[in-house]
Amino acid sequence: MLRIGCARAPVYWPSSKPLRCLALSAVTPNSRAKWNVRSSTADYTTSGGGKLLFHQLFEEESYTYTYLLADASHPEKPAVLIDPVDRTVERDLKLVKELGLKLIYAMNTHVHADHVTGTGLIKMKAPSVKSVISSASNAKADRLIKAGEKIIFGNLFLEVRATPGHTSGCVTYVSGDGPCQPQPRMAFTGDALLIRGCGRTDFQGGSSSQLYHSVHSQIFTLPKETLVYPAHDYKGFSVSTVEEEMLYNPRLSKDEETFKNIMENLGLPYPKKIDVAVPSNMVCGLQDISLKTVQATSN
């Protein structure tokens, strides 16, 4: 059983109802709902006696989720951060310190277009941390990963699955399968699969056909109870499951031709931060190294 604790009453998984909107508060600047997830936390206990510590964190400007995972049963409590944001690096590193964790990897699911990754600033403040991104992204990082590799932290690991289509370098990180790994499994899908949606496919080497096949072959083949944790959410959702998205995703539950037609007619505006975010994220979030060095060393 997965226990998720938050600012309100704890929620338990599995549950008769889907997990939704943990510790959410809403405000409406400029008539647009804005959700602020303080922190959703959970402890998984594996059949082998291991323990996964898990935090889901939110950055409200870009609606980005950052995920902190750690092997809490290991003496060093090794940890990874998935999709950190530059604006919340101080918060994330403070949490790592408070929990007594040893952060070893700062990982991205892809080269983001809507915010600057926090990996560069994290490395400045914690030089032992290694940055991670897909080799297919053609971005710079300490570790360039490919499909089938494992990201190991303590006795736990994340499996790398290539899920291009939103961008050419998208990957999904899936928690390990086995008696010493947490169950149900968890899929950190980036923008490839969102809750009741998916990332756009009209820039950064995107392809609606490729995205359709990526999700159906690499994510929808996971056990149906697998928890889906995306890189963003704009409607107040926090987690879904593979089964839910297979049944209810208004785009990816359709046939391929219908999906392609939907994606070709979204009519989305040009991302406001893409001209800054993409060049910066191609170099680990350090486009202006001199400025960010000053910022990092002055804190």
Per-position b or e across 170-206, b if 16+ CB within 10 A of its CB? bbbbbbbeeeebbbbbbbbbbbbbbbbbbbbbeebbb
pLDDT surpasses 90 at 270: no
Contact at 8 Å (CB) between 190 and 171? yes
Q: What is the mean pLDDT of residues 167-188?
A: 95
- Confirm whether 45 is domain-assigned: yes
- For residue 139, what are the domain limits? 32-272
Give the strand pairing for 51-59 and 102-107: unpaired
Q: What is the mean pLDDT of residues 32-47?
A: 48
Between 46 and 206, the more confident residue is 206
Q: What is the mean pLDDT of residues 87-114?
A: 97
Give the strand pairing for 130-134 and 102-107: parallel
- Confirm whether 59 is domain-assigned: yes
- Confirm whether 239 is domain-assigned: yes
Whole-structure pTM value: 0.84
pLDDT surpasses 60 at 48: yes
pLDDT at 220: 98
- Confirm whether 2 is domain-assigned: no
Q: In the chain, how many domains are there?
A: 1
pLDDT surpasses 70 at 299: no
* Residue where the block lists tokens 């975010």: 277
Query: Cα separation of 138 and 77, whole Å?
Result: 31
Q: What is the mean pLDDT of residues 74-102?
A: 97
Q: What is the mean pLDDT of residues 189-215?
A: 96
pLDDT at 294: 37
- Confirm whether 193 is domain-assigned: yes
Residue 42 confidence class, pLDDT cut points 50, 70, 90: low
129: domain CATH number? 3.60.15.10
pLDDT surpasses 60 at 242: yes
Average pLDDT of the residues of the chain? 84
- Confirm whether 101 is domain-assigned: yes
Query: Cα separation of 137 and 44, whole Å?
Result: 32
Ramachandran sector of residue 188 (left: φ over 0; alpha: ψ -120 to 50; beta: rest): beta
pLDDT at 4: 37
- pLDDT tens per residue across span 23-37: 222 222 232 222 233
pLDDT at 235: 93
pLDDT at 176: 95
Q: What does residue 276 show for φ and ψ, rounded to 5 degrees?
A: -95, -45
- Confirm whether 254 is domain-assigned: yes
- Confirm whether 284 is domain-assigned: no
pLDDT at 290: 45
- Percent of residues, the chain, with pLDDT higher than 90: 73
In three-state form (DSSP H/G/I as H, E/B as E, the rest C), the secondary structure along the chain is: CEEEECCCCCEEECCCCCCCCCCCCEECHHHCCEECCCCEEEEEECCCCCEEEEEEEEECCCCEEEEEEEECCCCCCEEEEECCEHHHHHHHHHHHHHCCCEEEEEECCCCCCCCCECHHHHHHHCCCCEEEEEHHHCCCCCEEECCCCEEEECCEEEEEEECCCCCCCCEEEEECCCCCCCCCCEEEEECCCECCECCCCCCCCCCHHHHHHHHHHHHCCCCCCCEEEECECCCCCCCEEHHHHHHHCCCCCCCHHHHHHHHHCCCCCCCCCHHHHHHHHCCCCCCCHHHHHHHHHHC
